[in-house]
Amino acid sequence: MGVALYRKYRSSKLEDVIGQDHITSTVNNMVASGNIPHAFLLTGPRGVGKTSVARLIACMVNDVKYEDLDSQIDIIEIDAASNRKIDEIREIREQVNIVPTSLKYKVYIIDEVHMLTREAFNALLKTLEEPPEHVIFILATTEFHKLPPTIISRCIRFAFKPISVDDISKHLLAIAKKEKIDIENDAIEAIAIHSEGSFRDGITLLENFRTFNAKVSEEDVEINLGVASQSVVDEIVSAIKNSDKQQIYKLVDGLQYSGVNYSLLAKDLSARFRDSLINDDNIVPNDKIIELLDGLLEVQASSQPKQKLVITLLGSVTDKTPPQINETPEAVEQEPKVNIEPEPVRKPVEPVPEIQSEPEKEIMPQSPVKGNTGSIDELWLKTLETLKVEQNTIYAISRMGKIASFTDDKLTIEFKFPFHAKRMSDDRNKQMIEKYLSNSSGKSIKILFSVAGEPTEEKHIQNISNIFGPSEVLE
């Protein structure tokens, strides 16, 4: 059985570690000076060299060759994901007092340390506070924010960073030559881009083409990864710009049998719209880009990315303006009065006093928005203008809302999509808008954000809702 490339090309000395010079130079100085801390904390994204550096530190402090690492019983590696309970940590506490059998230091490497339970962290803390001189702990994690501050404060932290596309490309090309993988430079760059800063992921992707007989092209990489071609991305963007609902649905649905990863497609579209927003090239209106970026972010985390992508893209070109109620009702058509000729009277009779009919009461128009501030519409527009200047992102979302009611100084704004109402209901955003409203009106105004009824005119959206249910599709 062949050895996986990421294991075969794992760094065997600090100089081999890619893109982490700020860490490797510091570690070298620490070991050379003998000023070695009793606990290291290595943090950063996956596949950037944390575990490799941990092993190299263990070898360097003990003057052991990396090739002999697996035979050293004083260097203990623990996966916290499968050894996360207090019993495992208590066992470490009992063993740390035992001196090393052959090395200068007993080194414990605890990977994914954030997976430990609270009780296990408390037990580990006792050991980190007063460790024996012959023990070194090296903790590694991809989720630094989950660690208790008490643990962090007792370690020397090294923050690993994502590796650049250029660095990944250069080293993948060197590996491809050694492994005799015939691959184009554009294909190497495509792998590096989709590695997202992880060198290990890049090597794993490269290994997919280890047995290719023909020269590997960029198209081969895209097909293997499930990446939509740039021409497809361009067509989707063009359909959104033209508000062509049928073309959007046709393009997205047609990719189902092409092996395209819809989460990756959402990521590629996000990158395109983000660049458009930054460069201000107006491929679609800026307020629509904000809405798209918000929805596409949810696609990548959705359990049904295709359906969520369809909803997001179609929603961006669907008119979300609710029908406006005319505040001035049409004139009430009066029935024509019929003059009835009196029957001829043969005998003179006393005149009968004319009965005066009561005048018809004027029908007053009913306004859809009741308020006591003069014009709530003008007040809301003034608030939007303030947001446009001071909070442009919130303005882009707020302007999609419509006034639903205004009663007892309580203003209700309706949105088409739940995630817009949810975003605006955030305490910070809500309090900010209430402040603007109150400052403009001279009185305290409360605001509520709600979701309007679902549109029925778009057949594809309705079909999806019928299948998956509105809450599952939209939330």
- Domains of the chain, by residue range, sit at 5-159, 165-225, 230-316, 376-451
Contact call for residues 173 and 188 (beta carbons, < 8 A): yes
What is the enclosing helix (H) or strand (E) of 392? helix 392-398
pLDDT of residue 469: 46
pLDDT of residue 105: 94
pLDDT of residue 422: 83
For the domain made up of 376-451, the CATH class stated in words is alpha beta
Superfamily of domain 5-159: P-loop containing nucleotide triphosphate hydrolases (3.40.50.300)
The CA-atom distances, in angstroms, between 126 and each of 83, 94, 130, 191 are: 18, 12, 7, 44
Gap between the Cα atoms of 307 and 403, Å rounded: 30
Check for a shared fold between 5-159 and 376-451.
no
Q: List helix spans (H) across 181-322.
A: 185-194, 199-207, 218-225, 230-241, 245-254, 262-279, 286-301, 305-316
pLDDT of residue 464: 44
Pick the CATH number of 165-225 from 3.30.499.10, 2.40.40.20, 1.10.8.60, 2.160.20.10: 1.10.8.60
pLDDT tens, residue order, the chain (475 aa): 568 888 888 999 999 999 999 999 999 999 999 899 999 999 999 999 999 999 999 999 999 999 999 889 999 999 887 776 777 788 888 888 889 999 999 999 999 999 988 888 888 888 888 888 999 999 999 999 999 999 999 999 999 999 999 999 999 999 999 999 999 999 999 999 989 899 999 999 999 888 887 889 988 888 888 888 888 899 999 999 888 999 999 999 888 888 889 999 999 999 888 888 888 777 877 778 888 888 898 888 888 999 999 999 998 888 655 555 554 444 444 544 445 455 555 555 455 444 444 444 443 333 344 444 448 888 888 888 888 777 777 877 888 888 888 888 888 998 887 878 888 888 888 888 888 888 888 888 899 998 876 443 344 444 444 444 444 433 3
Total number of residues shown for the chain: 475
| Residue 447 bridge partners (DSSP) | 411
What is the enclosing helix (H) or strand (E) of 402? strand 402-407
pLDDT of residue 320: 59
Query: For 8-32, b where at least 16 C-beta lie within 10 A, e where not — what string?
Result: ebbbeebeebbbbeebbeebeebbe
| Residue 156 bridge partners (DSSP) | 40
pLDDT of residue 281: 77
Gap between the Cα atoms of 40 and 54, Å rounded: 9
Contact call for residues 320 and 453 (beta carbons, < 8 A): no
pLDDT of residue 359: 45
What is the enclosing helix (H) or strand (E) of 30? helix 21-33
